[in-house]
Every structure is written in C-alpha cells, then in structure tokens.
Amino acid sequence: MKSYWNRFKAYRVFSPDKSFFQLGIVWFTFTIIFITSIILIFGITTTENYTGCMSANCFETFITSYKLPMGVLSLLIPFGAIYAAQHRSELTIAQITSAESQNNFINYYKHLEEFKAHLENNGVIGECQNYRSTHFRFFQNSRGGDYKISADSQKVIRLKLSKIYKGFRTLENYSVSKFEGDETNAINHVTQEVMKIRAMINELLHYFQLSNDKLDNENDHNEKVMSGRFKMDALVKSTKQYIKLLKYITDFCHDYRQPPSMNALSDIEVESQGYLTSDAKFYFNLVDCGEDGNTIVIKPSTIKTSSEVFSPTITLGQIKY
C-alpha cells in the first residue's frame, strides 16, 4: 500500500507549479461527477415522462425525483475543498523547500569563504591544490546544510593515520638483533615499511587534494635508499608537516574529534643513528595510541623529578620515562 502511495505522490498530481484549475486530477474528478449526474438526470427524465410545470407540487416532485443526481453533483463541493487544501499544502511545502535551498546555498558559500579564511590565517592555503576541492572532500554534504566533516572523510583519516602510526611503531621495533649478520634483509625490511608510510601519506594527500611537494618523488627516494643517503628524520619531518596541515584543516570543524594518532604524529620526533644502514636504530616519541592507533591509552602516572621530565631512557624498540 505504501509503495502505491509513493507512486501516486511521484506523479505530482497536485503540482505546485500549476494553478488549481490546471490540475489534471481536478478536471478529471469534476468531469466524472458531471457526466454521472447528467446520465442519471437523462435516465430519470426519459423514464418518468415528465412535462413542464412551475407549481409548488411540481417543484417538490422535481426535488424528490432528482435527489440522486443532485447528490452526486454536490460531491463537487467536498472534493473541491479537499483538492484545494492539498494543493495549498503542496504550495507551502514548495515554498519552504525553496527557502531552505536558498538558505543552504547562501550558507554553503559563507562556509566556503570562512574555510578559505581559516586556511589563509594558518598560512596553509598554498598547500591545497584547490581549496574548493579540499573543502568538498572534507565537507561532502555541505551543499545540503550539513557542515560536519563527512563520515567517509573521517573514515579515511582514521584508517590512513592508523596505518602511518603503526608503520612508525614497526620501524621502532626493527633492530640489528633481528637481522644479525644479514644487512640486506635488515635494510629491505625498513625500506618496505618506509615505502608503506610514504604510500599512506600520498593517498591521504591525494584524497583531500593537498600538495605533496614536501615528499621526495618516488625515483629520488629510491635513489637515496639504494645509495645509503636516506635519513629517517627527513621522513619524520615531512610526515609531521603534513599531519599538522591536516590538523589545522580539521580544527575548522569544532565538532570533529581528532583521533589520538593525529595528535601523536603531529608532534613526532626521531632520535636516529645516522643514515639507513643495517645497524640503524630508530626511536620515536610517539605516545601510546593502542593497537589501532586511535585509542587513548591511559596508564598510571608516576611522580617524576624535574630532571626526569623529558629525559627518556632509550631501550630497544621503546622509550621509557
């Protein structure tokens, strides 16, 4: 029954684009009622063989005999009232929809201009390939009046940042002890993880239409790795800059809750023993964001002296305070 009603509404029989007497359903209903009344009148007149008479008795006989066709004809009043009310309702809905659409249009461009001003104030508008495209990527439903970061964009941010976070954690756990006497295997494992991190960063930037000029192109990066000139701090520096850029942009939406991995990666630092070699060790100041990189892990705090604060003791694969 519901599907039939939806089909009926889809035909727009009470279209607000037409006047009341231009509606097809009005003419159809009125025509059926008129024809039915005329047929009944004709049938009664020919059957009873009436002649002309203007007396009170004749008038009373007319009312009694033609009660049915007049009753059918009187249906024009309720049907007309119902159709008129429905048509007015459609007109009101159309006016409200038009006003909402106009407001959404105005608010969308206001939101877009405020987004542009936010980027300019933070000095990052030059990092966008096109600020309109970047705005659309973050606020995909803004044309409809929804100015929150879209669910799809939030999912992309969570997944990519989680993989980048895990990548740095994996690099931190690699050490010469795992690849003793096998320099090629050690470098290959680290290199593969670095490539994964670079790929995640590139995918994140491409999705949000952001420039990736702070990352070496693929050929330059590979050449540095092969020649032993790659340094981890270069990757950390570019990662930190891009995550901070993402953080600046998402700050525009006050309702958005930034994942813990975003805050951790925006402050990432590395203590590295030189270039990428088989005996290289990498230690990052990443806070614990759980296995998925998006969970705040609260650990029991301990009282530290002033000399102990920010004076980490380096151990293999982790930082202990």
Long-range contacts at 244-247 (CB < 8 A, ≥ 24 apart):
245/124, 245/127, 245/210, 246/157, 246/204, 246/208, 246/210
Express each pLDDT in 95-131 by its tens digit: 888 888 888 889 999 999 999 999 999 888 888 888 9
Express each pLDDT in 39-81 by its tens digit: 888 888 777 766 667 777 777 777 778 888 888 888 888 988 9
Ramachandran assignment for 134, one of left (phi > 0), alpha (psi -120 to 50 degrees), beta (any other): alpha
Express each pLDDT in 184-240 by its tens digit: 666 677 778 888 888 899 899 999 999 877 665 655 655 565 555 667 778 888 888
pLDDT at residue 297, rounded to an integer: 58
Confidence of residue 1 (pLDDT cuts 50, 70, 90): low
pLDDT at residue 314, rounded to an integer: 32
Please state whether beta strands 313-315 and 318-320 pair in parallel, antiparallel, or not at all (unpaired): antiparallel
Residue where the block lists tokens 């059926």: 32
Express each pLDDT in 138-193 by its tens digit: 999 988 888 999 999 999 999 999 999 988 888 877 754 455 555 566 667 777 88
pLDDT at residue 318, rounded to an integer: 37
Confidence of residue 252 (pLDDT cuts 50, 70, 90): very high
pLDDT at residue 168, rounded to an integer: 87
Confidence of residue 305 (pLDDT cuts 50, 70, 90): very low
pLDDT at residue 89, rounded to an integer: 87
pLDDT at residue 225, rounded to an integer: 58
- Is 216 or 317 the better-scoring residue by pLDDT? 216
Cα 317 to chain center, whole Å?
A: 38
CB 196 within 8 A of CB 163: yes
Express each pLDDT in 263-295 by its tens digit: 889 888 887 655 665 556 677 888 888 766 667
